[in-house]
Structure 1
Amino acid sequence: MKLLNFKQLHRIYLTNSGFFLLYLPQNVTVLEYHIIKGIKNSDEQAFELLFRKYYQRLCGFANKFLNDIPESEEIVQEVFFSIWKNREKLSPKESLKPYLFKSVQNLCLNFIQHQKVVDRSYRIIEIVYENSPHKEFSAYEKLLASELEQKIDDAIKNLPSGCAEIFQLSRNEGLKYSEIAEKLNISVKTVETQISRALKKLRAELKDYLIVVIIAILTSACL
């Protein structure tokens, strides 16, 4: 297929059977038309052309929102994967450029919102874990915090007696390692070791429940 007239880039082709008129919107070039048409027909080379044309620009665009290059690249790849997966729905006479940038923008904004909720979830866990006041919580978050607090107390009871005592002096009474060492007449190193063991056991025992808490908070944020 040979282009007949450069000025009529969007219009006229010369084929073996004669002239071929191709009417396209002004924002769709002939090249883009054939790329999209190729992708629609499962042409991997056409898809690669589209990928090379926009990938770096889209990554830079996403990074303006996220300031995180690896996450930006992952989002852009997700958009391209979606295009390939749904290629049969593509229309060669509709430009993909606006769709690409809008899709990346939406995914970035969703990621930012999701990250805020995740950060909030971990903040709740952190506050409860440290036995700090949680006045900033909503009613639902206070309920989750109360349940988590009970789970932590139950888990502490399963610690070896010496380990549990040291951990409670740190968590419940807010004593520093040096103060605990002086109070129990042991070395600071022993306190550090026992606290480390306590945290390791608690994390292992509470692992599944912490996941449930995070999921519950994420779910409530979407309602």
Structure 2
Amino acid sequence: MHLQNHTTEMDERTFRRFIESYSNDLLYYVRCFTRSKEEAEEIVSDVFFEVWQNRDQIEEIRNIKAWLLTITHNKAISYLRKKDSSNVSITWDEVGEYAIPYELQTPDEALISREEMSRINNIINNLPPRCKQVFILGKIEKLPYKEIANLLDISVKTINIHIAKALELISEGLKK
């Protein structure tokens, strides 16, 4: 998304369009961490506040979505650590119905019946937590593997292993 016309600063109208373009994806991503819609909205609001503060640097960012997901990921973890001051390890056990929202489907996925989609969502929900996280970032958010590796501090080879395992489990689950 090209954010600026001929000015060096993003104006408020452009920023509102920017928020509209990305807020649903970021809310979806944060809901993987929080059980509360209100908490998710608060975290995403903080993300957009940080983006507004750094709006003069946006032109230099190569992959806006990866940058936003990185900020969102860090803010969600910070928020949860503050909320529960014990050193919590964040899991992906409760993604719930947020596995693959219909509006994020590709045209090929739109050909899949709602029943099949529900089965796929259930399989994704039951993936091991790190496997689920990598699968969501790689196949649903469509982030490049190198950016996922940087975000999660794991190797691209490990990402390939998680994606292959997820696809194998989905395939096996659909055969039942």
**Shorter-chain TM band:** 0.3 to 0.5
TM-score, with length taken from structure 2: 0.44
The structure that has the greater radius of gyration is 1
TM-score, with length taken from structure 1: 0.35
Q: Which has the higher contact order (CA 8 A, sep 6+)?
A: 2
Larger fraction in strand: 1
